[in-house]
């Protein structure tokens, strides 16, 4: 469950996560925090322990009045031309909102974008990590 105030920028393939594909966004990410009045760049420990994992109650930037603490995604279905995710927005470890987002893989667009740009941005990051894992690796037989 990623923090809803986390703005992922780049996948971190630095070996700092033992099982990066198990992370809420399918990989570890660098990025920024948009929870405060100004966007900030969290330090490495905060990125690892809070931003990428959500439910960051100890985060000093997390607003007291917020809709969600975390957002989680999972694959609902895939085909050659689209992928559909389930999303769940949580508050205090309980679901508050849920639904599906469907991405057109050929066009790189979402057919039904989430109305909150933060959730949509996290979904696009989840999609990017998923697509990276689907790409054939060098030396892999077709």
Contact indicator for 110, 103 with CB cutoff of 8 Å: yes
Does 139 reside within a domain?
A: no
Q: Give average pLDDT by consecutive 10-residue segment, the chain, 142 residues.
A: 89 82 90 89 87 76 85 94 95 93 93 94 94 73 52
Total number of domains in the chain: 1
Does 142 reside within a domain?
A: no
Residues 6+ positions from 113 with CB-CB distance below 8 Å? 101, 120
Does 128 reside within a domain?
A: yes
- Beta strands per DSSP E along 6-104: 6-11, 29-33, 70-78, 82-91, 94-104
Does 141 reside within a domain?
A: no
CA neighbor of 50 nearest in space, from 6, 81, 82: 6
What's the confidence (pLDDT) of residue 101?
97
What's the confidence (pLDDT) of residue 96?
95
Contact indicator for 28, 5 with CB cutoff of 8 Å: no
Q: How many CB atoms lie within 10 A of CB 25?
A: 29
Helices (H), the chain: 44-46, 117-134
Q: Which two tokens stand for residue 121?
A: 């941005």
pTM of the shown model: 0.87
Domain range for 116 is 6-134
Does 1 reside within a domain?
A: no
Does 17 reside within a domain?
A: yes
What's the confidence (pLDDT) of residue 20?
83
């Amino acid at each position: 469950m990623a923090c809803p105030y986390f703005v992922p920028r780049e996948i971190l393939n630095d070996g700092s996560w033992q099982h990066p594909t198990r992370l809420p966004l399918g990989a570890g990410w660098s990025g920024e925090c948009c929870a405060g009045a100004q966007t900030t760049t969290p330090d490495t420990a905060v990125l690892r322990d809070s931003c990428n994992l959500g439910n960051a109650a100890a985060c000093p930037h997390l607003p007291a009045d917020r809709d969600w603490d975390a957002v989680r995604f999972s694959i609902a279905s895939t085909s050659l031309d689209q992928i559909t995710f389930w999303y769940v927005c949580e508050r205090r470890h309980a679901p508050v909102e849920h639904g599906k987002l469907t991405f057109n893989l050929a066009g790189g667009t979402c057919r039904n974008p989430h109305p909150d740009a933060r959730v949509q941005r996290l979904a696009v990051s989840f999609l990017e990590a998923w697509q990276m894992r689907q790409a054939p690796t060098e030396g892999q037989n077709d």
